[in-house]
Structure 1
Amino acid sequence: MSLYYDAATVLTATAQGGSLKSRIYGNKSGFKSKPAHIYALISETAKYDQFLKEVVDNAGLLVQERKLTPILSLLLVHDHFFSKSGLAAPSAHPLRLAIERNKARLQAEFAKARLRRRCATLDDLRRSLLAENPRAYQSQPRWVRINTLKTSFMQESATTFEGYKSVATIMEVTDSFGTEKILSIDRHVPDLIALPPEADVTKTPAYRDGKLILQDKASCFPAYMLLGEHDDSSHIGYCIDGCAAPGNKTSHLAALLAKMERTESKVFACERDPNRSKTLISMMRKSGADAVIVQASCDFLTLNPHDSQYKKVTHLLLDPSCSGSGIIGREDIPILALPVDGKSEKAHPTSSRNASRKRKRDHAHEGPAEDTNEAEETRAVAPDSTRLLKLSNLQTKIVEHALSFPAAVRVTYSTCSVHVEENEAVVSRVLSSRIAKKGNWRLLRREEQVCGLREWAHRGMHMSADAANCSPALIEADREACIRCNPGDDEGTMGFFVCCFVRAPPRTPCKASDTLHGEESWEGFSD
């Protein structure tokens, strides 16, 4: 069966192709099997490899079946015992026959290994093995946003997710078995749920009809921060998504406006790339975002803020091009504990690999996720500092352009980058700009943010002199106004940054002791 050969190819490839997900889904030559099936097989086998090695070795499988490789033996034995549907191979296929010839010995050794762990059921065994052999990485959940333009959480609970158990934490979701029907209702963003990493909703009628949208939790923050939950939404006019494709945030904007019954509000969606514009148009049709006016092949920077069609634009969402340093694969390529190679009858030379694996696991539990981020910073910033500076300058220009729209009162800025140069440094330069000072722009403070985001723990970072690039350091209140998401931590998000600029009304001086970004502060703001 090609599934097992394809999975073995991924695990034995000499070229380092990034994460497991990128190797499978980004394979240029293509596999005969579906990428989702390859991914599920490898990730599930990696959870139980030590146990599977024990069974294979004690059953003498590779001694009896010289044509099997150690990796193939793990993949096959995994599916034989742990897959609900068993081996994915025809009855006469050589791989299935190899397992069938040794079925009795494998079954006996499997039972002995299970009883040694005092596990009465297969589910007990799974839990025991996950505790015994914790993963060296934090899997990402499958985030799904309920598209309220077409459905509701209650409707999907009664249909698509009927029979699912609701759990409290992301860890419970990511540590679950692929076949478990569980979900976690997000506590920060409404209508967002987390499913197990191997969950596939793309085959459901709800997904095909545009009722479910696959969208990372972090990328749901900008639209929610921009529009939030208002008792009085009369101040919300038209919106602009300045860098819209593929359209997840755009459709989220449209859904939030519909919830507020802002039927007269429009969303102008700009996308300068023609091909991505087609994707954006398709996404808006599928999601039922009728309020969106797609401005295809349109660069946001070319819009004239004083054009009459934009005179009612009050809210702008900006997610411009960035380094993408916060985007992560679900995990690195797993290094499996391999059985004894039957062709040599000597231990397979994996001891150093297993030692490396142990060091990797130990390191993963030694310190916080910031250690990983710092390593990522060192690896990415040093050779790409020129590119980061160019991106940062462009990002600053885009935000300043948004602030120039006459009726604008809120502008969110976000990136999927972990670099200070593209995040806090951009915010600092914008706040120091002539246009921000002239328009009385400041950051939406933490205590003013919508409740779910106000409770988010991770906030803006201090800037080093190099990263700041001559920009003034943000004061503590401004750092607290910025939200950060850290890749690989227990929140299950990619690396992300978001903040919101708000325009203050005509100002009246307050206490001289108060400061706002190094300047005099003012009371009376209400948007």
Structure 2
Amino acid sequence: MDFYHRAGLILDALDNKKGSVKGLCMAEAKKGRKAGEGARFLKVVVEVLKYRPHIQHLLTATKLLAQEPTLFVPPSSTAAVASALKSGSAASANKALKTPRKHVKAAPSPLSLASVMVHDLLFAKRGLTLPKEHKVRKKLEKYQPALEKENEREKRRRKVATNEGLQIALPEKVASSLEGIGKGKKRAHDADRFAEEGAGSDGAPGEIRWMRVNTLRWTVEAAVEWLEKCGWEMFEDVQEMLAAAQSKPKVFALDAHIEPLLALPAAVSLPTISAYQDGRLLAQDKASCMPAWVLLMPALLDAEERAEAGLLYVDDEDEDEEKKAAGGDAKGKGKAKSKGIRVLDATAAPGNKTTMAAALVATEGINGRVVACERDQGRFKVLKDMLKRADAKNVQPMNVDFLSLKPDDAKLKNVTHLLVDPSCSGSGIPSRLDHLLPSAPEDEQLARIRALSNFQLAIVSHALRFSGAQRVVYSTCSIWEQEDEGVVMRVLAKKEFREAGWRLAPRDEVMPTWERRGRVEACGGDETIADSLVRCLPEDGTNGFFVACFVKDETAAPIAAPALPAAAAAADEGEEDAALEPLEDEDVTEDASAPAVSAQPVKKGGKAAKKAKSTASQAARKAKDEVLGLASAPAAAKESGDAEVKAPAKKGGEGGKKLSKKQMYLLKKEELKRKKEAAQE
């Protein structure tokens, strides 16, 4: 029953928008640590989702849940304990109260658990994977004739000959990518492929399997030589490689835009490639490689020029050793040297972009380091595993919220390059399987996109405030303008950043030979701005993706405020309302760094309670303001002229100023969190 319970919990999480299909299956599988379990969860959950509307019809028609209200409620679950306490029976309540907390488990909703079990009962070749004498199986099988009768009636009504005709159809490419998962001898391959294309997926179903040469362990030249020795044929052009793949299984091509990237046929079996198994090759979508490449490519070119001139970068630790060797004074010894580049990855897990940045700054002559932030503890472990696999020893992982870091922290003063890939809708990932889930009403979707856009604006703004920042790359795996060009235009419209010297890097620094650029209409008709941006769509052989690069030039005159397009202007006008919407966790949570401050709920009534509530509100507001650089809001507003920063409101007073949009949003999140904690108690 354990597997059914956990699969039911995944369905509940999907209903509550707590993640993507692949991401939640992978997260659940990691709890059990059984080989191939992730692939099994994916196979079962996808099949249940395809049949789910039909299964819910069967449950309603047979009145199974109404007639067996406790059949799908585990006796040791929180739901069972709550039911016992509400039953009115002293014996039941006393037993529930004596149940040790460690034995009480979270349980799936009866509908989700029933959906998984009815699916296996009717549609799985193996049937129910429970012992024949299991009481739940025996009870459920009593309803099997009625369920099968209604199933046949529904097939006649819908005029389909097979059970497959009752499913939600999957797109061909997605269906082919899932074909065979969890079956027999393929289990190892399927589990492996699932791991690479699962939570925080960079892989996408299609014709191309993108593989990045991990230059921390290997070189591109060595990779090409090794592949050719193993019988692989190299092509200079990806399209030529795809054409050859129709008749030759072992073909690959060098990517034309990103040097350490290789293109292989999508049908390649990763476990058969030893270089993949030992981490010399990493599976990473081409679009996902672009942020780190755009961020650091100028530094790589600069390193080449410096090396030719006999100038080198040095690591801080190397410099310290040099000083010690010189008796604490290294003057005159390092005149031709400068410190290595320091990169900060704001939302690092699962670690593909982080390890690529680490590989790029490890280039001879740069000797750089990376600080990788990940606030979620579970995903932080995923990040550390990825760093170990890639042998990224020049990365310092931190289990912290990026927004909790202070931009003027002396420990981070050497950070010059920031990689910002925050929570997004994930609308550019065709393999997310979201079309199997009930679609939200249009107004709900728009509200969610607005909330994400405002969060993205906040996290990019935080990155641009770092004292040493010189180059910041913002990216999303979204195709929506509100999350892409809309955020960029709103950043450029801020007086604070324009006066600080921030502007977009020109096209020749941002994948100059990549043809698909930003949408001109979403950039207020400014072709120069649009040309500085990079867009990817699935037809480019990648996931849908967006990349923008901000550079700081304090010596140049501030740029003029751009003309905001209608969508961005509306977003700014409605920022306060949109920010009040709680951020949903999707793969959103997989990269989420939304600020959170703990506060204990207080009971209503009484002076002490009111005082505690007031103190908690003040503390929460102070902490949020400090995180977002609003600790001295009135002074900041006066100096920068940014209308977004305002003084906190005073209740009652006529002259009191309104709360800023950010403050309203953060306080609302705190209020929601307190309500949730109170409800749990």
- If the TM-score is normalised by the length of the shorter chain, which range does it land in? 0.5 to 0.7
* Partner Cα distance (2:249, 2:432) in 1: 19
Which residue in 2 is equivalent to 1:219? 288
Residues 1:410 and 2:410 are matched in the alignment: no
CA contact (8 A) 1:323 1:417 kept: yes
CA contact (8 A) 1:268 1:292 kept: yes
Higher RCO (CA 8 Å, separation ≥ 6 residues): 1
Which residue in 2 is equivalent to 1:166? 234
Deviation at 1:269, TM superposition (A): 0.4
Which residue in 2 is equivalent to 1:424? 485
Deviation at 1:262, TM superposition (A): 2.3
Instruction: Say if 1:382 and 1:217 are closer, same or farther in 2 by CA, change over 3 A.
Output: farther
Which residue in 1 is equivalent to 2:407? 305
Q: What count of residue pairs does the alignment treat as equivalent?
A: 355
CA contact (8 A) 2:180 2:190 kept: no
Which residue in 1 is equivalent to 2:346? 242
Deviation at 1:147, TM superposition (A): 0.5
Structure 2 counterpart of 1:184, from 249, 253, 257: 253
Structure 2 counterpart of 1:268, from 361, 371, 378: 371
SS in 2 for 1:422: coil
Structure 1 counterpart of 2:168, from 13, 16, 25: 16
Which of structures 1 and 2 has the bigger CA Rg?
2
| Amino acid aligned to 1:172 | E
Unaligned runs of 5+ in 1: 1-5, 40-136, 334-377, 465-471, 520-527
Instruction: Say if 1:36 and 1:19 are closer, same or farther in 2 by CA, change over 3 A.
Output: farther
CA contact (8 A) 1:21 1:330 kept: no
4+ residue segments displaced more than 6 Å: 6-11, 24-29, 35-39, 330-333, 378-382
Instruction: Say if 1:262 and 1:168 are closer, same or farther in 2 by CA, change over 3 A.
Output: closer
CA contact (8 A) 1:140 1:330 kept: no
Instruction: Say if 1:446 and 1:416 are closer, same or farther in 2 by CA, change over 3 A.
Output: same
Residues 1:140 and 2:207 are matched in the alignment: yes
Deviations 1:220-251 (A, max 9, x none): 11001001032247586311000111101101
Higher deviation after alignment, 246-255 or 18-27: 18-27
Which residue in 2 is equivalent to 1:259? 363
SS in 2 for 1:177: coil
* Partner Cα distance (1:146, 1:212) in 2: 5
Q: How does 1:71-220 map to 2 (within 5 A)?
A: 139-162=206-229, 163-175=231-243, 176-177=245-246, 180-220=249-289
Deviations 1:379-404 (A, max 9, x none): 99665111100110010101000000
CA contact (8 A) 2:417 2:470 kept: yes
CA contact (8 A) 1:242 1:318 kept: yes
Q: How does 1:467-506 map to 2 (within 5 A)?
A: 473=524, 475-487=526-538, 489=539, 491-506=540-555
SS in 1 for 2:419: strand
* Partner Cα distance (1:218, 1:381) in 2: 28
Deviation at 1:208, TM superposition (A): 1.9
Which residue in 2 is equivalent to 1:517? 562
Which residue in 1 is equivalent to 2:517? 459
Which residue in 2 is equivalent to 1:320? 422
Instruction: Say if 1:440 and 1:164 are closer, same or farther in 2 by CA, change over 3 A.
Output: same
Deviation at 1:413, TM superposition (A): 0.3
Deviations 1:316-354 (A, max 9, x none): 001111111111239999xxxxxxxxxxxxxxxxxxxxx
* Partner Cα distance (1:432, 1:260) in 2: 39
Deviation at 1:217, TM superposition (A): 0.5
* Partner Cα distance (2:443, 2:240) in 1: 37
Which residue in 2 is equivalent to 1:286? 389
Structure 2 counterpart of 1:230, from 295, 298, 301: 301
| Amino acid aligned to 1:158 | E
* Partner Cα distance (1:29, 1:174) in 2: 24
* Partner Cα distance (1:236, 1:13) in 2: 60
Instruction: Say if 1:271 and 1:186 are closer, same or farther in 2 by CA, change over 3 A.
Output: same
* Partner Cα distance (2:205, 2:389) in 1: 32
* Partner Cα distance (1:332, 1:33) in 2: 29
CA contact (8 A) 2:181 2:187 kept: no
Q: Give the TM-score, by structure 2 length.
A: 0.47
Q: Give the TM-score, by structure 1 length.
A: 0.61
* Partner Cα distance (2:369, 2:181) in 1: 43
Deviation at 1:446, TM superposition (A): 0.5
SS in 2 for 1:230: helix
* Partner Cα distance (1:21, 1:294) in 2: 36
Deviations 1:279-300 (A, max 9, x none): 100111111111100002x111
CA contact (8 A) 1:245 1:276 kept: yes
Unaligned runs of 5+ in 2: 1-43, 48-122, 126-162, 192-203, 304-312, 314-337, 565-681
